[in-house]
Amino acid sequence: MKQILLILSLLSLGFCLQNPLFLNETYSTGLVQISNTSDIFYFHFESRANPSQDPLVFWLSGGPGCSSELGLFLENGPFTVNDNQTLSNNPYSWNNQANLVFIDQPVGTGFSNAETEDLVTSETALGQNFYTFIKGFLDQNPQYIGRPLFITGESYAGKYIPAITVELLKRKDRQINLQGVAIGNGQVDPKTMYPAYGEYALKNNLISSFKYRTMVNPTLKECSELIQKNAPLQQISQTCNLGFGYITGFGETPKFNVYDIRKQCLGSLCYNMTNLDNFLAREDVKSALGVSGRNWEECSTRVHKALQNDIFVGYSSYVAQILESGIKVLIYSGDQDFICNYIGGLTWVSEMQWTKQTEFQSAQFEDYIVNGKSAGQIKSAGILQFLRVYQAGHQVPMDQPEVALAILNQFIANTTSKDQTIM
């Protein structure tokens, strides 16, 4: 019996493998127990450069309740899924110079399990669960204890990441060497970002100036005021959704792809993800991932519903706390995204109260150069950077993979240079 327990214990460690199914990329997967009936799944890739020395980067997708495999296979992971269910290599994967981990959280997301009573209903609970996850991950992967750690993500992770980071700051755990956080097209501060929907739509000719003045702007202004007053959730939702709908329409499918205004909306998430759905439903794939018997879904309705009271809560004050603690912060936004657009992002960053607020407000934008070409505009103050990425939607690594890799490498290399070269 003792021998069986020892074998099971060893199997729980994150041993790295290579598998032709995953193009012989060096990887490991694991499940970290959060409670008796819940766990968090992760998919870890060793750095393609120097795994024993390169930093550790966590990636979190948003939702709330959307799996980080969406990021892995569609954005910044080592491969993408082809029509014939094979994989293609991504030369711009974020594990080129970092050890990269995609995490299905909160519990109940993606391949992670959770009973109804386990589902988180606040960012506080989410942060506490994530601390438990990190400790379990380090137990399974002790080579990363004390390694420089960067937490990255997009969309609703704009709330996850500040809450998680503040929890880590409270813990003061010496095993966790957090160096920076990066948020892409993040939903951080709804009261500031909702009015920006109208401004962005007007600027990009999605609505007429008459509609903006008479319908959109007044409604979204009221939405912001209700959020600020902490009005009942139903009242906030009705007003904010009305203002939003004046722009996107009120049908099941919006008039345009809210994640990339240049494209048509196809499917529930505006993109065709059939290849990924089919690939992650295969028994041989699930066996290789160590999740046989589990079913993967793009986004969990249960997880989303459990966090409904968090939808209109702002976390810019958490970001300010992170900056004041000395943890550097990068906020980047693709300029073709509507749902978490760069105008709203720049507004909440500018209005955030912290030591260098005035310095940030007065800072000028400069060109962000990648391989000799302007890929965006960047401004900074101290350890805070805001970057607008040209010709990218909500998923910057999907639309501008070369630029996204340059952004990550600059961030983890602890340099403020605005001229990046991809090797």
Across 14-24, average pLDDT? 81
Please indicate, yes or no, whether residues 78 and 117 belong to a single structural domain of this protein.
yes
Contacts of residues 374-383 at CB distance under 8 Å and 24 or more positions apart, as own/partner, are 375/400, 375/403, 375/406, 376/335, 376/403, 378/418, 380/416, 381/356, 381/357, 382/323, 382/355, 382/356, 383/323, 383/326, 383/327, 383/328, 383/329
Do the domain assignments include residue 7? no
Q: Are residues 164 and 201 in the same domain?
A: no
Query: Residue 10: which pLDDT band, with cuts at 50, 70 and 90?
Result: very low
Across 278-297, average pLDDT: 96
Q: What CA–CA distance (Å, rounded) separates 390 from 396? A: 9
414: pLDDT confidence band, cut at 50, 70 and 90?
low
208 and 173, same structural domain? no
Place of tokens 């048509």: 264
Tens of pLDDT, residues 197-240: 999 999 999 999 999 999 999 999 999 999 999 999 999 999 99
Confidence category of residue 21, pLDDT binned at 50, 70, 90: confident
Q: Report the interhelical angle of 157-171 vs 123-140 (nearest 10°).
A: 70
Shared-domain flag, residues 286 and 227? no
Q: Within this chain, do residues 213 and 338 fall inside the same structural domain, yes or no?
A: no
54 inside domain: yes
CA–CA separation, 15 vs 270, rounded Å?
36
pLDDT at 18: 83
Question: Residues 6 or more apart from 329 whose CB is under 8 A from it?
Answer: 180, 181, 182, 183, 319, 322, 323, 383, 384, 385
Tokens found for residue 406? 């340059």
Specify the pLDDT at position 8.
36
Instruction: State yes or no: pLDDT of 172 exceeds 90.
Output: yes
- What does pTM read for this prediction? 0.93
Q: Which two tokens stand for residue 169?
A: 């700051």
- Tell me: do 217 and 184 sit in the same domain: no
Q: Decide if 264 is inside a domain.
A: no
Q: Is residue 4 part of a domain?
A: no
Q: Mark whether 28 and 87 lie in a shared domain.
A: yes
Beta-carbon contacts of 3 under 8 Å, excluding residues fewer than 6 positions away, are none
Q: Is 380 a catalytic residue?
A: no
Mean pLDDT to the nearest integer, 69-96: 96
Domain assignment of residue 6, yes or no = no
Residue 1 lies in a domain: no
pLDDT of residue 5: 34
In the predicted structure, residue 89 carries a pLDDT above the cut 50:
yes
Percent of the chain residues past pLDDT 90, beyond the cut: 89
pLDDT at 4 over 60: no
208 with 77, same domain: the answer is: no
Specify if 13 maps to a domain.
Answer: no
| pLDDT score, position 356 | 98
Of the pLDDT bands very low, low, confident and very high (cuts 50, 70, 90), residue 14 is: low
- Do both 52 and 145 map to the same domain? yes
pLDDT in tens, 242-275: 999 999 999 888 999 999 999 999 877 888 899 9
- Give yes or no: residues 220 and 169 share one domain: no
Higher pLDDT, 99 or 267: 99
Please give the pLDDT value at position 1: 41
Q: Is 155 a catalytic residue?
A: yes
For the stretch 22-53, pLDDT in tens is 998 999 999 999 999 999 999 999 999 999 99
Same domain, yes or no: 227 and 105: no
Cα gap 137→31, rounded to integer Å: 8
Q: What does pLDDT average to over the chain?
A: 93
> Does the structure show a pLDDT above 90 at 404?
yes
pLDDT recorded at residue 3: 44
Q: How many structural domains is the chain composed of?
A: 2
Which of the residues 310, 335, 337, 399 is marked catalytic?
337
The catalytic residue among 28, 68, 155, 316 is 155
**Annotated catalytic residue, options 112, 300, 310, 394:** 394
User: Domain for residue 59, yes or no?
Assistant: yes
Q: So what's the pLDDT on residue 220?
A: 98
User: What is the span of the domain harbouring residue 243?
Assistant: 192-248
User: Are residues 86 and 113 both part of a single domain?
Assistant: yes
Confidence of residue 20 (pLDDT cuts 50, 70, 90): confident
Is 189 part of the annotated catalytic residue set?
no
